Amino acid sequence: MTNTLPPHHRYFQAKQGRWWSPFQLEITDPEGLRTSSLRWKEKQTLRLLDSFCRQNRLPTFSTLMDYTSRGQHNEVFHITQLSFGGITLFRSLETIHLKEDGYTFDVSGKQGYFPFLWWRSPWKGHGFVDKEDDAATYFLPWQGLELVQHTQMTPEGLVIRQETPFSKAALCLRPRS
């Protein structure tokens, strides 16, 4: 039976469930980070994560995608979490709003950082799904900057590349069993 849902519905429906991956971060422009608008603490956190990743001590990136409960209403609930050594460093609670054109979406959410995960800052982003419904591009605000995220479904899992003006991250999400 052919799936007649629009591409963005098919994309998010296929990601239903819990996913996880080791998280690899690299600072690509140390001078750009140094002169960026990030606060000192945020810069130090990125430098620390970069150092851990260079030592192959990788944080865990995990997500929960819930298309089933609200997809028919053009909404998808999503949780993103970054943990290290069992401690949650970052958590974002998100709603993805699927637009009528079948490809684009808006994202709104609240994100919190260790140790104040309960104090969540609101944010809004947007993106689009490609015509084959196996890849997406997101434009997300992060600490006053734009983070561009590219996703691509592969036989190994959902490959994610994230880029800021001074860093890049890579991971391959796999379903959590």
pTM (two decimals): 0.90
| Alpha-carbon gap, residue 140 to 28, rounded angstroms | 19
Q: What pLDDT sits at residue 3?
A: 72
Classified by CATH at the fold level, domain 7-175 comes out as Lipocalin (2.40.128)
Phi, then psi, of 104 in degrees rounded to 5: -95, 160
User: In this predicted structure, what is the pLDDT of residue 151?
Assistant: 97
User: What does the pLDDT read at residue 2?
Assistant: 54
DSSP string of the chain?
----S-HHHHHHHTT-EEEEEE-EEEES-HHHHHTSSS-HHHHHHHHHHHHHHHTT---EEEEEEE-TTTGGGTEEEEEEEEEETTEEEEEEEEEEEE-TTSSEEEEEEEEEETT-TTS-EEEEEEEEE-TTSSEEEEEEEETTEEEEEEEEEETTEEEEEEEETTEEEEEEEEE--
pLDDT in tens, the chain (177 residues): 457 899 999 999 999 999 999 999 999 999 999 999 888 988 888 898 899 888 888 899 999 999 999 989 999 999 999 998 889 988 999 999 999 999 999 999 999 888 888 888 899 999 999 988 899 999 998 878 899 999 999 999 999 999 999 999 999 999 987
Q: Which residue is it, tokens 């963005």?
A: 8
